[in-house]
Amino acid sequence: MKSKIRYIFLLVPISIIVFFAYVISQSQNEASQPLNLELPEFQLQTLDDKTLSEKDISSGTYLINVWASWCITCRVEHPFLIDLKDKGVPIIGLNYKDNKDDAINWLKNFKSPYEISIHDFYGTLALDLGVTGAPETYLLKDGIIVRRHIGELNIEKWRQDFAEFF
Amino acid sequence: MQSFSRKYLIVLFFLFHLDLSANDIYEFKDSYQEQRFFSLIDEIRCPKCTSGSLASSDAPVSKDLKDRIYFMILDEKSDQEIKDFVIQRYGKQSDYNPSFSENLFLWLMPLIFFISFVIFFGLKKRI
């Protein structure tokens, strides 16, 4: 009987290790993170020389897509964003640390999926949002950032994390 | 040939000179602020790297974050406010010095492991 009881004490550390291994493997698969971050204050120029602030997009549901003309994965992601646009999903571009002319040419060459594209040359708004690079996609719902996806947005990630909001 | 190598040396001199001055661009009101800055960038993880602090990283996002921390210090923000700013955006894993109370289970894990093994092997000897 005692020999059986002692195995319980071996089982404790093993189950802890298995539990943490599972948690870590799940968190590595999960590139999308739920957030609850108020849209930071900003006032920036768009690529078509309009001024946009957080108040202009504080109501409604939008995707904010971080992109740049120097970003190769953004080119891979682009057809999917066009599909979303055609389905009526409003996407705001956040042009990240990019040369303005290059960005405008990129949109001319490949067609723009964005309703409007903010030119964040210094990456100030991006830093306030917690951007680590491009591409990244944020879900903005009534002035609150509720989702973030790091890397290419594709149909799987869209269905898994974003589709329910539109 | 000699003039070429001299030119080459001059270019090298300026390159290293620029590199040295690049580390010295943050100016603080006092040494306490400077000390806080360097300890914070040592305790906060680079968001773009697999492992490594902001201090050890030259990634563009790390540079931006260091600049933001610098301005927050000048703006009299506390260490906790600065850490909260980073954690809210880049997650709890950004903090290399996590709080004891929030991670009590993790801190106690080695003790749990030790006690479990002591009991396991202790009971084995008695049987």
- Summarised one tens digit per residue, pLDDT across range B78-127 is 999 999 999 989 888 899 988 888 888 888 889 999 998 888 888 776 65
Give the bridge partners for A140, in sequence order: A62, A145
Q: What is the DSSP letter of A50?
A: -
Of the candidates B64, B113, B123, the beta carbon closest to that of A13 is on B113
Interface probe with A: pick from B48, B54, B64, most Cβ of A within 10 Å = B64
* Whether the predicted interface score ipTM is above 0.85: no
Q: pTM of the full predicted structure?
A: 0.77
Same domain, A98 and A118: yes
**Would you say B65 and B47 are in contact if contact means Cβ atoms under 8 Å apart?**
yes
Same domain, A61 and A12: no
Interface probe with B: pick from A1, A2, A3, A9, most Cβ of B within 10 Å = A9
Same domain, A47 and A126: yes
Same domain, A24 and A63: no
Are A127 and B123 an interchain contact pair (Cβ–Cβ within 8 Å)? Answer: no
d(CA A150, CA B3): 51
Same domain, A63 and A145: yes
What is the reported pLDDT for B21? Answer: 43
Domain that holds residue A8: 1-30
Write down the domain spans for chain B: 2-96, 99-127
What is the reported pLDDT for B1? Answer: 52
Average pLDDT, chain A: 91
Same domain, A12 and A60: no
**Structural domain tally of chain A?**
2
Residues of chain A by 3-state class (helix, strand, coil), percent to 5: 45, 25, 30
Are B47 and A130 an interchain contact pair (Cβ–Cβ within 8 Å)? Answer: yes
Same domain, A91 and A148: yes
Pick the CATH number of B2-96 from 3.10.105.10, 3.40.50.300, 1.10.10.60, 1.10.8.640: 1.10.8.640
- Summarised one tens digit per residue, pLDDT across range A56-114 is 999 999 999 999 999 999 999 999 999 999 999 999 999 999 999 999 999 999 999 99
- Summarised one tens digit per residue, pLDDT across range B15-44 is 555 554 445 588 998 999 999 999 999 999
d(CA B4, CA A44): 48
Same domain, A95 and A147: yes
Same domain, A67 and A18: no
Query: Which residues of B make CB contacts under 8 Å with A?
Result: 47-48, 60-61, 64-65, 68, 88-91, 109, 112-113, 116-117, 119-120, 123-124, 126-127
Mean pLDDT lowest among A37-46, A79-88, B61-70, B87-96 = B87-96
pLDDT exceeds 90 at position A145: yes
pLDDT exceeds 70 at position A1: no
Q: What DSSP letter does each residue of B42-97 carry, written as one string?
A: HHBBPTTSSS-BSTT---HHHHHHHHHHHHHHHTT--HHHHHHHHHHHH-GGGBSS
Same domain, A14 and A71: no
Would you say how long chain B is, in residues?
127
